[in-house]
Structure 1
Amino acid sequence: MNIANVLTAYSTQDGDGVNISRIPGFDGKYLDPFLMIDELKSDDESDYIGGFPPHPHRGIETFTYIIKGGFEHKDQMGNKKAIKAGDVQWMSTGKGVMHSEMPLSDTQDGLHGFQIWINMPSAEKMRDPRYQDTTEQPTPAVTNEEGVVFTALAGNWQFENHTLSASLQSLAAEAVLADVTIPQGKCVQLAPLKQKKVMVYVHTGELITTDGQVLVTGKLAILKPGSEINLQAKQHAGVLILAGNPLSQPIAHMGPFVMTTQEELKQAVSDYQSGKFGSI
């Protein structure tokens, strides 16, 4: 596995005082086409009980994956869903979405999940929004003889002799995502993916690379294009694999809006302030 860069998540807050770990990519330098990786992981409800009250988005896709606990999603399109452990939710916000994500009241054992932002091609940023989740079409998963669990969250994947096709198939920039659980000492090998940007994020335990480098929780390894994926768990590990094709376009970012030019960004703010995003 050929690693080009390793980034480290840092602690911050978002929403109503929610404590998260974040790897930002709004400069387009390392993560393109991804814009941000946020991980929420806590057994203390004070870290997340405030949730994410109603707020707008334009020009991005949000990808939410819950490992433990859950959120209730609401938006101005009329969607109201409980997103629980194992569920994935995707919004292609296009020209505008208003939504909220609040912790489920019956969450007892803490919360662990992700929200990942994917940039949209400039020509698609003003199309109508789209929504999809996996509450009625569970994410496909397979467990091999060594106890490795491979879950296809979005897109198509080949794991050993298994082809897994997630119900989410139309992410921007041909993005695909998977979650892999690896018992201590066991390995996972995948052939090079077709996407030019491939990254591995350690959310649980530790990995050890083929050259002896240790990747601990909160580390993101960005692979060189065309690299195979070779994961060995130093400790029982949970790993997200993210892949997509860089858009290589300018990024104009302000809070929940990501456009291509400053003029488009000013228009997004104006449209929101004038009520064009609707309400929940």
Structure 2
Amino acid sequence: MSIRPVLEQRAATPTMEGAGVHLHRAFGFQDPEELDPFLMMDHFRNNDPAKFSAGFPWHPHRGIETITYVLSGSVEHQDSLGNTGNLGAGDVQWMTAGSGILHQEMPTPDAQGTNHGFQLWANLPRDLKMAAPRYQDVAAKEIPEIQEDDGTRVRVIVGSFWGKSGPVDGIAADPQYLDIFVPAGVKKTFPVDTYRRAFAYVFEGDGAFADASAPSGVLLEKEVAGEEVNIRDMSGDRTLVRFGTGDEVTVQAGEQGVRFLLISGAPIQEPVAWHGPIVMNTREELQQAFAELRNGTFIKPAH
């Protein structure tokens, strides 16, 4: 087994999207090869409805898939195919934009005024860019959760892990998407397919991820012994951790435990032409998509 090296740790960037939704961008609109097949991930968490209630009014997508995971509050959605729905706490939605879709997503608060969740964009390969669009909504109760004796919990959103398979399937990027909690003082190792790009996104507590450059786990041993660790070695709230190649990720939870998403997928390795909500392979395809938006032919008839 080989530990994946930590290539980079960086804080998510505050930004606004839609009609003024305040959120943090873990990555996106930078180098599309960095985390291929994933293009972008936004973390929305706010307890002031004035900063999210205007939502994401009608807008287009083409050439991508989106995976939306709600932790608190809800997200109401509606699309040009006539689909409507409401994602509640723990629910997941996968949308294949394919040849083109128009939709809106309107976040609503829970009883405490909070709305919290994530949206991940996955690229589509060239031969599926113009596939028929579709949705899949998955209720929280359908998502398997693994409970370990040491208190570790893993929700399997997409893919297979430790004998459990997530209910969301058919995503072209064939991702593994896990929501993991490791309690305080626990060191845990998670297998990751060697041939996938992988990242973690910490959103509660903090933890230290082992690095291949220190295979003896020096940093982790310091954590266990209670010795001082440079804060730069720790990944805290709203931190993206990019990994290199290898087949396992090891984390030592901090004093409050650590909760993070661990996501991996097979690289597509194709050219990317990207502007806003539309991602194609060439500039000409991108120009065509925006021309179709202007002339009303963006939405294709069902086959």
The TM-score range, normalised by the shorter chain, is over 0.9
Q: 2:30, 2:161 → 1: CA distance?
A: 27
Please say if 1:246 is aligned against 2:259.
no
Structure 1 153/30 Cα, relative in aligned 2: closer, same or farther at 3 Å? same
Mapped contact 2:40–2:120 kept (Cα < 8 A): yes
Q: 1:276, 1:187 → 2: CA distance?
A: 54
Mapped contact 2:49–2:108 kept (Cα < 8 A): no
Q: CA deviation at 1:249?
A: 1.3
Please say if 1:89 is aligned against 2:93.
yes
Task: Count residues in correspondence.
Answer: 275
In structure 1, the partner of 2:250 is 230
SS in 2 for 1:236: strand
SS in 1 for 2:33: coil
Q: CA deviation at 1:122?
A: 1.1
SS in 1 for 2:235: strand
Q: CA deviation at 1:105?
A: 6.4
Aligned partner of 1:8 among 11, 14, 25? 11
Mapped contact 2:95–2:133 kept (Cα < 8 A): yes
Q: What does the per-residue CA deviation read over 1:186-214, in whole Å, with 9 as the maximum and x for residues that have no partner?
A: 23312232542011111111111235321
Please say if 1:100 is aligned against 2:104.
yes
Structure 1 106/229 Cα, relative in aligned 2: closer, same or farther at 3 Å? closer
In structure 2, the partner of 1:17 is 20
Q: 1:67, 1:233 → 2: CA distance?
A: 21
Q: CA deviation at 1:151?
A: 0.2
1:1-280 aligned within 5 A: 1=3, 2-22=5-25, 23-104=27-108, 108-135=112-139, 138-158=142-162, 163-210=163-210, 211-212=218-219, 213-234=233-254, 235-278=256-299
Structure 1 121/107 Cα, relative in aligned 2: closer, same or farther at 3 Å? farther
SS in 2 for 1:206: strand
Q: CA deviation at 1:275?
A: 2.2
Q: Output the amino acid matched with 2:206.
A: E
Deviates more, 1:58-67 or 1:139-148: 139-148
Q: What does the per-residue CA deviation read over 1:238-275, in whole Å, with 9 as the maximum and x for residues that have no partner?
A: 10011001111111111110111000001111112222
Mapped contact 1:75–1:98 kept (Cα < 8 A): yes
Q: CA deviation at 1:25?
A: 5.0
Q: 1:30, 1:103 → 2: CA distance?
A: 29
Mapped contact 1:82–1:104 kept (Cα < 8 A): no
Q: 1:149, 1:264 → 2: CA distance?
A: 43
Q: 1:104, 1:216 → 2: CA distance?
A: 27
Q: 1:181, 1:95 → 2: CA distance?
A: 37
SS in 1 for 2:132: coil
Mapped contact 2:91–2:140 kept (Cα < 8 A): no
Q: 1:71, 1:89 → 2: CA distance?
A: 10
Structure 1 249/136 Cα, relative in aligned 2: closer, same or farther at 3 Å? same
- Unaligned runs of 5+ residues in structure 1 are none
Q: 1:236, 1:49 → 2: CA distance?
A: 31
Q: TM-score, normalised by structure 1?
A: 0.92
Larger C-alpha radius of gyration, 1 or 2? 2
Q: 2:299, 2:192 → 1: CA distance?
A: 43
SS in 2 for 1:247: coil
Q: 1:62, 1:172 → 2: CA distance?
A: 11
Q: 1:136, 1:190 → 2: CA distance?
A: 23
- Unaligned runs of 5+ residues in structure 2 are 211-217, 220-232
Mapped contact 1:26–1:253 kept (Cα < 8 A): no
RMSD: 1.8
Q: 1:6, 1:49 → 2: CA distance?
A: 31
Structure 1 105/11 Cα, relative in aligned 2: closer, same or farther at 3 Å? closer
